[in-house]
Structure 1
Amino acid sequence: MNHDLSFIEVQFPVSKVSKESYKERKAGQSQTLTGLGKWWGRKPLILVRATLLGLLMPSTKDPVKDRGIFLKILMMDAEGVWKRKNKPMDDKVIIDNLTFKELKEYFEVPVDLFTEGYENQDKLIKQALNKNIGTLKWKEGTLRTNKDKATKLAFDRLSYDDCLEYCLRPEEIQLEDKSVWAEINQHLGTNVNSLPELMRELGIKKFGHVPTVGDCFAGGGSIPFESTRVGLKAYASDLNPLAGLLTWAGLNILSLPDKEIKKLVEFQEKVFDEVCRQVEEWGIEKNEKGWMAKYYLYCNETVCPHCKTKVPMAPSWWVSKKTKTVALLKYNSVKHNFDIDIIQNATSEQIKESERLATVKDGALLCPKCTNSTPITVLRRDDIDTEGKTVHGLRRWEANEFLPRKDDVFQERLYAIKYLEKNNRKTWAQFLKKPAPATDATYGTVHYVAPTTDDLKREEKVISLLNERFVDWQKKGYLPSAVIKPGDKTDEPIRTRGWQYWHQLFNPRQLLLCGLLAYELDKLSENIHQKVFGIVSLNRSFYYASKICLWDAGGDKGQQTFYNQALNTLYNYACRGLAAYYNNWVIDFNPNPFNSDSSIATIDARIAKKQCDYWITDPPYADAVNYHELSEFFLAWDKELIKKAFPEWYTDSKRVLAVKGTGLNFNQSMIEIYRNLANHMPDNGMQVVMFTHQSPAVWANLTLILWSAGLHVTAAWNIATETESGGLKEGNYVKGTVLLVLRKRTTEATAFTDVITFEIQEEVKQQIDSMRSLEDKEDPNFSDADYLLAAYAATLKILTSYKEIGGINVEYELSKPRDSKVIGPVEAIINNAIRTAYDYLIPQAFDSYIWKNLSAEERFFIKGMELEKSNVHQLGAYQEMARGFGVKDFKDMLASTKANQVRFKTPSEFGNRWLRVSDSFSNTLLRQVFMAIAQSEKEQNGQAGRAWLKNEVEEYWNKRQTIIELLRYLSTTEHIDHMQHWQSPALYAKYLIELVSSDGV
């Protein structure tokens, strides 16, 4: 057994880990750690688990057996996935995946169409039966065991993605089959019966002790949490105390036994009950009819500079689309403002009128009175100084203010309230604790109303109650008092509203209710677990209770604060009544007791002193998320409460020290950090750096950083983790996660760029050949994007194996701005490796000479079709390939950009749109071939397509062989089950092959 190489350095099941990661992401709030609170970019726990196992599991001389054992341990093999199945399969799915012979064995089939010699007619017969598929029934008296047998036959024929629809996540089930453990033990030379036992024993074999896994960018805590859950020790640190809090909660609360969890839940309920009692005593959320408010809708008001009318501001006056409720503005000539009527069950005319009266559009105020449009920047009195810089004209709010002054540009107005009139079968206590899936209508009748005089009196009472407590609660830390520090994201509320302090992002009702929650949790908490649990619950509450929470008229509810990782101010917003707090206050999770052997520190990664056997990190590399700024939203509330729970922690974001994802200072910080980590791990220790792959320039930069830190790259794997929210967007969007595997560099060797270029080319080919030799044709693991990544990995592997490389000035390269148009030597080497990979990755049976003479766009499309053939539909895979071919814009080639549903357009979907326009693809021979197929389909005659080619393709006769090769490739899609949309184009491609081949003969 070779203990020198770990499994992850030789191979990794990227396809299955990607699919499992996607399944976990899709679980939303049901994810294990997500319920603890907001953090951006948490890595899926299954990705961490697979990484840890890949590091600890040794590679042997039998890589195929290694892979099988790896999948068995994670329950990703066929039998493991079957054991994870916990949802029933519809009879139709079972029927669709059985042969006709099997159908006859288990179901009552009405006609006897089957004979022994016609099994190849299964598909045809099944299609004939499909019209009446719903009428097929199980044979009378079919035993449960036979139903299970038929179900398993069908289940085993599903794709891996489809199987996962019926399965628990690996973390939700334990591998208990003793025969499987016996097989695992025999291969690995262990004696264990559980995953934690296995991880510890493998660690002891390698290090002589249970390994410690370190993460100095702990963030939301995925890496330390999963490390301890699978039996290892964990060290977690982060500069940001909010990250420390969330990580501590994961490690020390989610690991508690059921009995202790129950006590924490009781504490949560007790705090909420006390808040309910106080609010009821104040009488601020029920009206004279006894109805209880659930939501209050507010809008800004401002004076139109043209007609001096006070105008309520909103881009839409929809209140509830379910109940057809809208707000209608009516000019009040006495007050020179607008009355706002709330209309339920509005007519189509009233809805149109409401839409016409939207008062904010395209960054301007539209006055319904004089119909003039005024840019918002003019309202704010923004100006340009002598140096050409914008001077923001809004008054800055003072520290003691939580309401606008009467002469401020933007006032705030309550314009609608969502009330519930309770039915006699329910109590108010039940409504206040309504479970999330239950509808409001279950508890009574919903009314949307305009505020009455009494409602406005209750608003004044809220202000009065807050005034009485404001100074004291700020002093005790129940309300924020911190200044909003200027920054990329935090400038927004200062610039657009004049809010200088964090408490000004909340209105009086929000401050009163959230402050009351903080007061009660502080008063009632008796130990550190209750304090932390309370802080996490409080954070979840005010996260949904700020003036930058959108009102969702389609869902009749308020949204969260950071709907796009920013602090964007709104013209109208939702304010929750206490009846909308409960589901955010309580944390609903499944206890998963485990021994959490961990330590946590709030410290700069550059000075971390902990010795760890493995470091797994997810650094803020080229990251669009300003963690240090956005976390201050939470820390403004948490500051004093964290001090009480963790007296030794600081409580600010340490923004000055934060590692920001660009620039020279960032590069130097990263070198210091990773050099420090390398110094705090043993010689046989390893690191994994997780980051979002973007471009050769980013890779080049990262290469230089890790190289300077004394680390040697040994492997790289790309895991697709996207969900629908990660669809095709402009700019720096998330595609997938690269796992970069590293060891300490122990050699003193040096080389020159001309020498290593050839070495890298050979390494690229060797890496691709090695991956191909491991590929399972029945269950493909690698896509072309993975083979391309081999080019990056090969480059990094060779470059970082040398201490010095002549011709590369590391210090100079790292000092260059990342957006520099000058291609540096490392980037040039990487680009050359990519070209090597693409020249090597010719589609099967495609003529190599023709392939090399195709345009980048043509090669991209054809290799993209290879992805489709392999059932790869992750957007990241296509983006990766586009980068490799140098194709900058391919959106117009796609029929779907939805996550995990990406595919190219068919010829008929292209039609004649964008034909011969300026973009590169429109002028290619492949585009003309598509047009020929589309014409053939339209006319249902291949002659039409040939005529198009002869008339439109310049030098048709010289290009016939290329045309035929392209048509031949496209025709191979005809009989691929998951590519039915290509069946007709492929058929006409075959017709055209014959016509073009015989042309002129």
Structure 2
Amino acid sequence: MDAVVSKSPVTPFSLKDAPSLIERVWPAQKISVEAQKERKAVKGQTLTGLGSYWKGRKPLILVRACVLGALLPSTGNDEEDLAVFEALCGLSDDQVRERFKLSLTIDEIKAFATPEQLSALFEQNDNQLAKFRKMTRKERNDLMSAVIARMPYQARVERLLRPEEVDEETLTSEQLPWVNEHLGTNANSLSELIEQIGIMRFGARPRIGDVFCGGGSIPFEAARLGCDAYASDLNPIACMLTWGALNVIGAPSKRRKALEIAEKSLLVSIDEEITALGIEHDSKGNRAKAYLYCLETRCPQTGWMVPMSPSWVISRSKKVIAVLIPDQANKRYEIEVRTAQDAAEFESALKGTIQGGRLVHEVGGEVFATPVKSLRGDRKGSNGETVTNIRPWEKGDFAPRPSDLFQERLYAIQWITKETLRKPRQTTFFTSVRPEDEAREHKVHEFVEANLTSWQAQGLVPDMSISPGEKTSEMIRTRGWTRWHHAFTPRDYIIIASLLKNNHEAEIGVLIPSLLNHASKLCQWATTNAPLDADGKQAGGARDLPNHVFYNQAFNTFWNYASRASNFLLRDIVVTKEVPTATIRGQGQVSNTSALALADRSDIFITDPPYADAVHYHEISEFFIAWLRKRPPEPFKHWTWDSRRPLAIKGDGEDFRKGMVDAYKAMADHMPDNGLQIVMFTHQDAGVWGDMAQIFWGAGLRVMAAWYIATETTSELKKGGYVQGTVILVLRKRKDGEHGYKDEVVQEVKVEVADQIDTMAGLNQSLKGHGRIENLFEDADLQMAGYAAALRVLTKYTTIDGVDMTKEALRPRVKGERGLVAEIIEFAVQVANEHMVPEGMSPKVWGQLTGSERFFFKMMDVEEAGAKKLDNYQNFSRAFRVPKYDDLMGSTVPNEARLKSAKEFKKAGFEGTEFGSSKSRAMLFAIYEIQNDVDSDDVLSHLHDLIPDYFNVRDDLISLADYIAKKRANLDEAEARAAAILHGLIRNERFG
């Protein structure tokens, strides 16, 4: 990481007091498109190779945009300022050529090309496009790039490389001359430009700080741009990942070559040890790839030992199954692995011996079912937590004792054929457990038994206890595991101990947690339906394999699990093949300290802090810390190898608020008066946003700007307060705060929230030459952005109604207390809701609906657009304060969620709820009656009875009936037709 020294004669501090671009204008929608593209790359993301188990990294393009937005000045010419920003970010129309990746289809070219471009690309025959003209690849790519630049931005980026995938000089060199002219700089590279702007703002190359560095995306991208970066985290695994981003992905080519030699030597050493033990090769020379295990227990009703698995399918594509064969004499089952004889046998194998939380098996034609909870003896303990009869394992245990409730049994092995061991494309097959396999398994147990104590003393195998917690208690309760090595197989001990003993490179050590993520009894066996090709191999590569531990953020125990053999497991430490490269242009410093212990100054702090639904990294990381704490790689030996749970800032409560105030005050105290803080924050709970306002008050900070970025790709696994994106809050030190009164502040919040939502809904549309962008934001996102707008107003005040808001922020809260800030934040919610008028409904009618009615009609609008995510209904039920939204739902299946139809409501649901007594419910009943051929006069009469103020709201009813008819036209033709009839009945109703 060689420093870049600028020789430019720029004037130090000439931009000291200039507002930053991000405080005035920022192309949030364009950044959103790029961020989502990066997210969709999944394992192709630059930092994911260091460890996919760390889920909280923000996209690098978002970090890049924050750094540049904070450094670049706002000159007052928004158009030119944005052009400079986009050019340096790699988002400019002029950079499509450098980012070109995929050609367009003929139909796409016809849709977006100019006549001149069509003529240049195609030969014409009778005025029809015939075929592509002959030209060089460069000529065709240049023409394609020009056409791509005319496409809507979402469609465009699908054809392009991500900015981080393009060489920096290639991406920005042509832009620098006019950028220099605009900024008054004289740089020959982007990193030199960054340094010059830093000198103009802060008197030196800018330093970016992140005290919650996590997976390292913020310090990595800052250093890659040419800033100096300071990173710290309480968690040593986070620090190691950040160090790895700078020193593994950012390793110079010479160091990469040295690592390639070192890793080859390491893999040879481990392979020689494993081979010498004779535990992975069979008598024919085939080598194991994976071992499949299941638990086994004695059925209390029959006395039989029963293997436990929810399914006995081993390979869906190859139709390989495990078949239980009764052994009457020994009251147990042999397990035969074979190809299913027919479809019926395969279907039968899909149903295992664990069904609906019960152990199920058949003896003598009779089916016996025993609840697993009964087997374990689940009951409430004295402290209210569930306890069981499972024996707690001890330090020297590595397998169940014969008397334990659950035994562990090897039931299948996946092999690589001897002939394809050294080939890139290997052939695999499955076998039952043969006597020779049992002998090798026995040898593994004997070897571990002889060495475990010594390994634990040397730090080669963990002896660290599993502390009870939100995520960790599951393993203790359901398996009796009390120490971390209990969660791994004896084979894992041998492989990982050999790795730790033979490795001497810190860069390889950084990848050990990634390897651990693919080891242990917490790896479920995964099989897919990928078809076989002509050679009998799975298309796209083998998909029968052990899953990784952290496919979600929990410790999931399984009835059947899988363990990787050494050659398969060790793939995760191959630095030179699996991990991408990047050039680090700034200096990076990583410190394993708490945010509260900050001692180094930074010009700009960019943080992605913990918050109310944060991942429990302080617990999850103990899975890795247990293996590394006694033998950490050399650069990390002075770190504290403990999760330090008591010191971790938890995601809610008084401790969360106090910890965050202290952290952000420490950052404010360690930045210059013209410094900035950028906070990336995601949550949809008004209470949490109220906390954030008080945190910033307490830290002496003021929100200057708030932007909303749609960073996340959708996932039906997400529940609760999850939304599509991230709010970017821009803060400065609060100097001379304003004094205000609640009534004034409330009105200011109203204006600010409305303006925020209107801006987001059409951002960039009025700017020339920045690409057409469809609105990316869902209404749940717009509502969350309303919270941020409220913070922008609130935090500029020092006192409100004579109350010192800084002191108020630091005051401990009484549980359930609802103060001034909470009231104003909740008001912001209502303003946001009023702004989320569905398309096709008048604001006047919308303003008179109750919360449950708004929910119903808003979701009708969402359904018309084709959305079926349960998340949408959950988020909007919170937004409109509908506590029992499921009463209004026809389905709550995650991928098929929908509202009830009028026919499904029938005559029920009139009593006891806000919606039941509403005019909307009455209208649905009228629509139901029309569908059931009730006389028109009776329909209107019933409607009069159900709506006491019928004549006062008649115009609203006409509008709502028309709305329902239009929204249901393509989803429920019968309901739409009935709503249209009701619309006519009410409108043409005669009186007198």
TM exceeding 0.5 = yes
Match of 1:258 in 2: 253
Match of 2:673 in 1: 683
Tell me, yes or no, if the aligned pair for 1:735 and 1:875 is still in contact at 8 Å.
Answer: no
Between the aligned partners of 1:318 and 1:307, the Cα distance in structure 2 is: 25
Change (3 A) 1:700 1:533: same
Match of 1:394 in 2: 390
Match of 2:5 in 1: none
1:512-911 alignment to 2 at 5 Å? 512-521=494-503, 525=504, 530=505, 532-554=506-528, 555-587=543-575, 588-642=578-632, 644-724=634-714, 726-727=715-716, 729-733=718-722, 735-747=724-736, 749-765=738-754, 775-776=764-765, 778-779=772-773, 783=777, 788-789=783-784, 791-805=786-800, 806=802, 823-839=818-834, 847-856=842-851, 859=854, 883-887=878-882
Match of 2:539 in 1: none
Between the aligned partners of 1:95 and 1:894, the Cα distance in structure 2 is: 44
* Cα drift, residue 418 of structure 1: 1.3
Change (3 A) 1:102 1:600: closer
* Cα drift, residue 766 of structure 1: 5.4
* Secondary structure, counterpart of 2:463 in structure 1: coil
* Cα drift, residue 693 of structure 1: 1.7
Match of 1:438 in 2: none
Render the CA deviation track for 1:470-496: whole Å, top value 9, x for unaligned: 233222222112111222211122221
Change (3 A) 1:146 1:674: closer
Question: Are residues 1:159 and 2:152 paired?
Answer: yes
Between the aligned partners of 1:894 and 1:183, the Cα distance in structure 2 is: 57
Q: Which amino acid aligns with 1:541?
A: L
Tell me, yes or no, if the aligned pair for 1:728 and 1:897 is still in contact at 8 Å.
Answer: no
Match of 1:487 in 2: 469
* Secondary structure, counterpart of 1:581 in structure 2: helix
* Cα drift, residue 972 of structure 1: 9.3
Equivalent position to 2:429, from 439, 447, 450: 447
Change (3 A) 1:210 1:363: same
Question: Are residues 1:32 and 2:46 paired?
Answer: yes
Render the CA deviation track for 1:838-874: whole Å, top value 9, x for unaligned: 4456678964432322344554577678889999999
* Cα drift, residue 602 of structure 1: 0.8
1:42-81 alignment to 2 at 5 Å? 42-81=57-96
Tell me, yes or no, if the aligned pair for 1:332 and 1:339 is still in contact at 8 Å.
Answer: yes
Q: Which amino acid aligns with 2:742?
A: T
Between the aligned partners of 1:203 and 1:872, the Cα distance in structure 2 is: 46
Render the CA deviation track for 1:871-911: whole Å, top value 9, x for unaligned: 99999888766644435677899999999xx9997x9x958
* Cα drift, residue 215 of structure 1: 0.8
* Cα drift, residue 923 of structure 1: 8.3
Which stretch shifts more, 187-196 or 315-324? 187-196
Tell me, yes or no, if the aligned pair for 1:917 and 1:923 is still in contact at 8 Å.
Answer: no
1:335-346 alignment to 2 at 5 Å? 335-346=330-341
Tell me, yes or no, if the aligned pair for 1:462 and 1:509 is still in contact at 8 Å.
Answer: yes
Between the aligned partners of 1:393 and 1:379, the Cα distance in structure 2 is: 9
* Secondary structure, counterpart of 1:545 in structure 2: coil
Tell me, yes or no, if the aligned pair for 1:299 and 1:412 is still in contact at 8 Å.
Answer: yes
* Cα drift, residue 917 of structure 1: 5.6
Between the aligned partners of 1:143 and 1:861, the Cα distance in structure 2 is: 57
Between the aligned partners of 1:896 and 1:2, the Cα distance in structure 2 is: 57
* Cα drift, residue 412 of structure 1: 0.7
* Cα drift, residue 794 of structure 1: 3.5
Render the CA deviation track for 1:36-59: whole Å, top value 9, x for unaligned: 123231111111111111111222
* Cα drift, residue 761 of structure 1: 2.9
Render the CA deviation track for 1:761-810: whole Å, top value 9, x for unaligned: 34445556776896415535685666545532332223222233346887
Tell me, yes or no, if the aligned pair for 1:643 and 1:650 is still in contact at 8 Å.
Answer: no
Tell me, yes or no, if the aligned pair for 2:220 and 2:246 is still in contact at 8 Å.
Answer: yes
* Cα drift, residue 830 of structure 1: 1.3
Between the aligned partners of 1:253 and 1:947, the Cα distance in structure 2 is: 78
Question: Are residues 1:475 and 2:457 paired?
Answer: yes
Change (3 A) 1:536 1:137: farther
* Cα drift, residue 944 of structure 1: 12
Match of 1:23 in 2: 37
Change (3 A) 1:408 1:986: closer
Q: Which amino acid aligns with 1:568?
A: N
| Percent identical | 36
Q: Which amino acid aligns with 1:834?
A: V
* Secondary structure, counterpart of 1:368 in structure 2: strand
* Secondary structure, counterpart of 1:620 in structure 2: coil
Render the CA deviation track for 1:657-700: whole Å, top value 9, x for unaligned: 11111222222221111111111111111111222222111101
Between the aligned partners of 2:848 and 2:375, the Cα distance in structure 1 is: 59
* Cα drift, residue 536 of structure 1: 2.5
* Secondary structure, counterpart of 1:372 in structure 2: strand
Between the aligned partners of 2:256 and 2:786, the Cα distance in structure 1 is: 49
* Cα drift, residue 616 of structure 1: 1.2
* Cα drift, residue 362 of structure 1: 2.6
Equivalent position to 2:297, from 287, 293, 302: 302
Tell me, yes or no, if the aligned pair for 2:708 and 2:785 is still in contact at 8 Å.
Answer: no
* Secondary structure, counterpart of 1:197 in structure 2: helix
Q: Which amino acid aligns with 2:289?
A: K
Change (3 A) 1:865 1:689: farther
Question: Are residues 1:500 and 2:489 paired?
Answer: no
Between the aligned partners of 1:285 and 1:945, the Cα distance in structure 2 is: 79
Render the CA deviation track for 1:348-392: whole Å, top value 9, x for unaligned: 232244345x22123332243363332323322344456655443
Tell me, yes or no, if the aligned pair for 2:340 and 2:346 is still in contact at 8 Å.
Answer: no
Match of 2:161 in 1: 168
Match of 1:124 in 2: none
Match of 2:3 in 1: none
Between the aligned partners of 2:735 and 2:916, the Cα distance in structure 1 is: 51
Between the aligned partners of 2:381 and 2:398, the Cα distance in structure 1 is: 30
Which stretch shifts more, 920-929 or 344-353? 920-929
Match of 2:106 in 1: 91
Q: Which amino acid aligns with 2:253?
A: D
Between the aligned partners of 1:867 and 1:145, the Cα distance in structure 2 is: 44
* Secondary structure, counterpart of 1:580 in structure 2: helix
Change (3 A) 1:610 1:451: same
Question: Are residues 1:416 and 2:412 paired?
Answer: yes
Bigger relative CO (Cα 8 Å, ≥ 6 apart)? 2
**TM-score after normalising by structure 1:** 0.84
Between the aligned partners of 2:980 and 2:372, the Cα distance in structure 1 is: 61
Between the aligned partners of 2:698 and 2:828, the Cα distance in structure 1 is: 21
Between the aligned partners of 1:153 and 1:964, the Cα distance in structure 2 is: 50
Match of 2:373 in 1: 377
Question: Are residues 1:321 and 2:316 paired?
Answer: yes
Change (3 A) 1:791 1:398: closer
Change (3 A) 1:388 1:66: closer
Q: Which amino acid aligns with 1:397?
A: W
Change (3 A) 1:634 1:817: farther
* Cα drift, residue 641 of structure 1: 2.8
Q: Which amino acid aligns with 1:34?
A: T
* Secondary structure, counterpart of 1:8 in structure 2: helix
Change (3 A) 1:77 1:930: farther
* Cα drift, residue 709 of structure 1: 1.5
Instruction: Name structure 2 gaps, 5 residues minimum.
Output: 1-14, 529-542, 767-771
Match of 2:532 in 1: none
User: RMSD of aligned C-alpha atoms?
Assistant: 4.2
Change (3 A) 1:851 1:137: same
Q: Which amino acid aligns with 1:629?
A: E
Tell me, yes or no, if the aligned pair for 2:311 and 2:350 is still in contact at 8 Å.
Answer: yes
